[in-house]
Chains A and B, each alone.
Chain A
Amino acid sequence: MRREDSLTQHVDWWLLSIVIIMLGMGIANVYSAAYNPDHPNIFDFSQKYGKQIMWVGISIFLGFLVFLIDSDIYRKFALPIYLFCFSLLIVVLFTPPINGARAWLGIGSLGIQPAEFMKIGTAILLSRYISTVNVKNQNVQTVLVALAIVMVPMVLILLQPDAGTFVVFTSFFFVLYREGITFDPLVLKVVNLIPGVRFKDTWVGSHFIPILFYVVFLSIVTLLMGSNKYEFTFMRGVLIPGFYGVVTVITVIALIAYLVLRWISSKRDQRRVLLIIISGWLLSIAVSATVNFSFSSLAPHQKDRIELVLGLRKDDDGKDYNRNRAMAAVGSGGLFGKGYKKASVASVRSNHVPESETDFIFCPLAEEWGFMGSLVIVFLFMGMLFRIIVIAERQRSTFNRVYAYCVAMIVFYHFAVNIGMNIGLAPVIGIPLPFFSYGGSSLMSFSMLLFILLKLDSQRRDVLF
């Protein structure tokens, strides 16, 4: 064992740098968004930026602790860690609600959200469980256990209620998919009941998760775009409703995908690629059309409800208000933005966009740094995700790999939903943007997720199986 040589010897510097850059940008951004002219000092702990610096300090300290501890404990103590987080999740249900949700443990502004830490516990236990399962021998029981690990906390989170974190937990299904734990045993059980049918696997059962994700994603985009009042005008006077915009985008993406795949695939596969893309294109349009037209044929009160959930309508809670103002803030950024601390819509002081330092932190960022800033943020997250996948794929142990995928999918969900709701492509559900949003719990949980991954990765050579 050479692990005592140096704690940082095998650290993935790429990922660590991205994390550090994000933490730095996060502080700068919270300072700008929540800037209070009466307390200009960034280290003023009565202000949100002062507190954020404190949280970053605590997070880095936790990261250090993680590096000091042998990574083996996560595998060994996976169940206790999970149960500890789980018990916190139960305890929190007996606290008085804050803003309508029982999500906070602790005193005043220094509370923590157990749901955030449940993500870590679930990721660890799920990794532990999948590493012990032989995928080839999976049966109904293994699938149900894996689902239980993910879904029992989801039920408790729904009781809080915390729709955002609930949605984030569905990211674990992608991990199951990646590892081959599919719904197939369940599907086969049903399908094989038909006399004379004896399937070993079904395509729908195995690819259920990404298909579902894609359909949901496409449906939401169709609904959001389909109800777009700002319709495009083509030629003169011909209004193109938002739905055709979706069709156009699908077609363009299909064409690009075809060109790219034709370029990278062998000649032999080209017919198959063409076939897949054409069928994918047709199916996508079919799904989009179905959603669009079935929505328009819904009864008004059902429509209202869906529109409320998607934040397309003004209601007493002003959900459309938030969405519309967030989009105005982002859209007004222009190419280069209004400049640091110059956000007029999204600053906390003006309060046009509520929660602009937490859930809508992307607004001040996009308003102040413009499209260039947005580009940098999207690239940073893309870089982080790709790097995590690279790390995941180089692990020798299944535990490490599954854990890495868990981290990737959680970060991806936060990224997709948070930025999506800032630009009107996702419903407004409150989940933070990792490392950018103000708040201790999210910052600490993400730091620990990432630092545990970095620690596991730095010790990947110690693992012999």
Chain B
Amino acid sequence: MNLDGRKYVILVFFILVGSIYLIRLFFMQVVDDSWKLRAQEIAEKRKEITPPRGIVFDRRNKKVVTNRSYYNLMMKEEEIHDFDTVAFAKLVGWTPQEVKDRFYQIKKGEGKYRNPNTGKLQANYQKQRPYPFIKELTNDEITRIAPHLERFPGFYEDLTSMRSYPFSGGANIFGYLNEVSKEEIEEDRFYRPGDQIGRAGIERYYEKQLRGQKGIKYIVTSALNNAIESYAGGKYDTLAEQGPALHLGLDIQLQVYGEKLMQNKRGCIVAIEPKTGEILALVSAPSFDPNILVGRRNIGKNYPKLLLDEGKPLYPRPLAAEYPPGSIFKLLQSLIGLQEGVITPESGFPCTKSMVGCHNHPNATNLPDGIKNSCNPYFYYVMRRIIQQGKKKSIFEDAELGLNEWYDYIMSFGLGSQFETDVTGMRSGLIPNSAYYDKWYGHNTWAFSTIRSISIGQGEVKVTPLQMANIAAIIANKGWYYTPHFVRSIGNKGPLPQFKTVHKTKIDAANFEPIIEGMRRVCYEAGGTGKRAVVEGVTVCGKTGTAQNPHGEDHSVFLAFAPMENPKIAIAVFIENAGFGGVWAAPTAGLMIDKYIHRQVKDKAKEQMIVSANLLNIKAKPKKKK
């Protein structure tokens, strides 16, 4: 028996095992990446750091939306021992049962996530992880609780930041934050459960800018999930970046003043800087203090109240309420008439009162006086000339042609369509054209006499207060406008591109002169309807409106810009069911203009009159038949 050869058998075993292991190692370590992913899954954790949201400034660099520190009371079950439920409940001001319920709620609900592999919801509660036991404690609350926490091992405070509104105004502009919904988390990978998202207003529209850039920290963790060190010395970490500051065209003091003037009233004020289209104030009444919607607890408590409030404080009236414009529309009819050449500044029409009603005033012998007197028959005639120009033989076809031409003019003022402005919840208003009436009455069955009520801004015509204010801005600019907007600069990068393009109306600048003169006479000449809007030291151009509406007493409307020579503010005031425009809306507009231009209101009596007026409960007068 030759045993010598057997050493080779043994050597072959050595080589076999050694080479198989080397091949295996080569595949595991160099070729196959799945083990590297597995190792990352096991030992490396991504920690996201949410930066504070971007700050919002007004046009005078006042912080209008800022962040404030709040505290979460955190718990780590692993470290809790000898827990005295009763004492703890007393400390935080709960009942012992509430404390127990919260424990149960955290264990069952927190950290729940959808397993991407199985699609099932999985509880991911871990004893060694911290969870917020009580969220969003104020500084006062935590200073009361914190000193006693050492009696409760496993509990500690953790700093978070939430929104704060130093001026307590502009709730309808800024919007509010709330926790992201499950759908939003699934839609956008940026969000994690518990993150905040803008729910309305600027917070929502500029969400992507304001939320900033999350920082990511990679850490090596142990089997017990404790962080050990930063991965690769922090080479792959990124810093959290706060979102850029938003600079608004808003004047927060004007805004707050407007809200004060509008207290106990329903309606809105919109003020725009004509040169830039920047919104100076956007008051929606009734309004509320935005600070009452900060944090989960506040939202839970106050949101339902606001939702059920009769005055609909959450409804963005300046953007979404569609009112009949009333006499203010006469300004546009005049401009179109001049542009079409169917009237001249010297045209006079008698106040016949046969077709439409009017109040008592001398016959207007020229256009500015027509405006000053707000003579309904005057503009009935103007509108008839615009619609029935006699270009077609059939009055129906003639009316159709005339109306559609008129429609194109009106559309160039930004009416009948939504502005691309930087808030959400806007509506377009309504401007009828031939197609609209065809649908209503049938083709070739209607003429001017059918649709005459639109000549004085009644009937089918609907505009939003923002659009009204923009009309004032257009008149102030003599024919052009920028889309009204809030944010004049994101960080230092300027506004969004759509706010840098000029929109031109189809009216020549020269045709605005008699209109502006008419608006001046409204405020300054005998028989003018808007004399209460007059402000000392500036020339105000305005126009009253008294919008009939099916909901009750007429809406009081006033539209103005000032100063006449170099317009700095264009304004529209709507006060619901307050009657004639000259009584309430005009002085409100005047006070706003005074406040904006002089920073100080001199006419305290007028101010007191408006502030103290309660126009909420005016009896609805019986519906008027036309």
Contacts of B30 in A (CB 8 A): 334-335, 371
Contacts of A392 in B (CB 8 A): 7
Given the complex of chains A and B, what is the CA–CA distance between A249 and B30 in angstroms? 18
Chain A, 5-38, CB within 8 A of any chain B CB: none
Contacts of B224 in A (CB 8 A): 351
Given the complex of chains A and B, what is the CA–CA distance between A412 and B12 in angstroms? 12
A393-420 contact mask (Cβ, 8 Å, vs B): 1 or 0: 1000000000001001100100110011
Inter-subunit contact B28/A330 (CB<8 Å): yes
Contact residue among B24, B26, B39 (Cβ-Cβ distance under 8 Å from A425):
B24
- Residue B435 is within 8 A (CB to CB) of chain A in the complex: no
Inter-subunit contact A178/B3 (CB<8 Å): yes
Interface of A is mostly: helix
Contacts of A328 in B (CB 8 A): 35, 38-39, 41-42
- Provided the pairs A345-B42, A385-B14, A386-B11 are in contact, do residues A201 and B35 lie with their beta carbons within 8 angstroms? no
- Residue A331 is within 8 A (CB to CB) of chain B in the complex: yes
- Residue A295 is within 8 A (CB to CB) of chain B in the complex: no
- Residue B44 is within 8 A (CB to CB) of chain A in the complex: yes
Contacts of A382 in B (CB 8 A): 14-15, 18
- Residue B228 is within 8 A (CB to CB) of chain A in the complex: yes
Given the complex of chains A and B, what is the CA–CA distance between A386 and B224 in angstroms? 43
Inter-subunit contact B222/A352 (CB<8 Å): yes
- Residue A213 is within 8 A (CB to CB) of chain B in the complex: yes
- Residue B1 is within 8 A (CB to CB) of chain A in the complex: yes
- Provided the pairs A350-B223, A374-B29 are in contact, do residues A331 and B39 lie with their beta carbons within 8 angstroms? yes
- A250 to nearest B CB, angstroms? 11
Given the complex of chains A and B, what is the CA–CA distance between A325 and B35 in angstroms? 9
- Residue A71 is within 8 A (CB to CB) of chain B in the complex: no
Inter-subunit contact A210/B9 (CB<8 Å): yes
Inter-subunit contact B25/A178 (CB<8 Å): no
Inter-subunit contact B26/A371 (CB<8 Å): yes
Given the complex of chains A and B, what is the CA–CA distance between A136 and B6 in angstroms? 16
- Provided the pairs A382-B18, A386-B11, A425-B24 are in contact, do residues A331 and B32 lie with their beta carbons within 8 angstroms? yes
Given the complex of chains A and B, what is the CA–CA distance between A330 and B15 in angstroms? 21
Inter-subunit contact A349/B222 (CB<8 Å): yes
- Provided the pairs A332-B36, A344-B43 are in contact, do residues A327 and B21 lie with their beta carbons within 8 angstroms? no
Contact residue among B3, B14, B25, B38 (Cβ-Cβ distance under 8 Å from A179):
B3
Q: Which residue of B lies closest to A213 (CB)?
A: B13
Inter-subunit contact B3/A180 (CB<8 Å): yes
- Residue A126 is within 8 A (CB to CB) of chain B in the complex: no
Interface of B is mostly: helix
Q: Which residue of B lies closest to A367 (CB)?
A: B39
Chain A, 295-340, CB within 8 A of any chain B CB: 324-325, 327-335
Give the interface size class of chain B: 35 or more
Q: Which residue of A lies closest to B18 (CB)?
A: A382
A171-215 contact mask (Cβ, 8 Å, vs B): 1 or 0: 000100111100000000000000000000100001000100100
- Residue A423 is within 8 A (CB to CB) of chain B in the complex: yes
- A229 to nearest B CB, angstroms? 10
- Provided the pairs A178-B3, A328-B42 are in contact, do residues A423 and B21 lie with their beta carbons within 8 angstroms? yes
Inter-subunit contact B6/A178 (CB<8 Å): yes
Given the complex of chains A and B, what is the CA–CA distance between A416 and B222 in angstroms? 29
- Provided the pairs A325-B42, A328-B38, A335-B29 are in contact, do residues A420 and B14 lie with their beta carbons within 8 angstroms? no
Given the complex of chains A and B, what is the CA–CA distance between A333 and B22 in angstroms? 14
- Provided the pairs A179-B3, A378-B18 are in contact, do residues A327 and B35 lie with their beta carbons within 8 angstroms? yes
Inter-subunit contact B22/A178 (CB<8 Å): no
- B34 to nearest A CB, angstroms? 6
Chain A, 207-225, CB within 8 A of any chain B CB: 210, 213, 217
Q: Which 9 A-B pairs have the closest CB atoms?
A: A331-B35, A332-B39, A328-B38, A371-B29, A344-B43, A331-B28, A351-B223, A328-B39, A350-B222
Q: List 13 A-B contacts (CB under 8 A).
A: A135-B1, A210-B13, A331-B28, A344-B39, A350-B220, A352-B42, A352-B43, A367-B39, A374-B22, A374-B25, A375-B25, A378-B25, A415-B17
Chain A residues in contact with chain B, CB under 8 A? 135-136, 174, 177-180, 201, 206, 210, 213, 217, 230, 249, 253, 324-325, 327-335, 344-345, 349-352, 366-367, 370-371, 374-375, 378, 381-382, 385-386, 389, 392-393, 405, 408-409, 412, 415-416, 419-420, 423-425
Q: Give 17 A-B pairs besides A378-B21, A423-B24 with Cβ atoms closer than 8 angstroms.
A: A180-B3, A201-B1, A217-B17, A331-B35, A331-B36, A332-B35, A332-B38, A351-B222, A352-B223, A371-B25, A374-B25, A385-B14, A408-B10, A412-B17, A415-B17, A416-B21, A425-B21
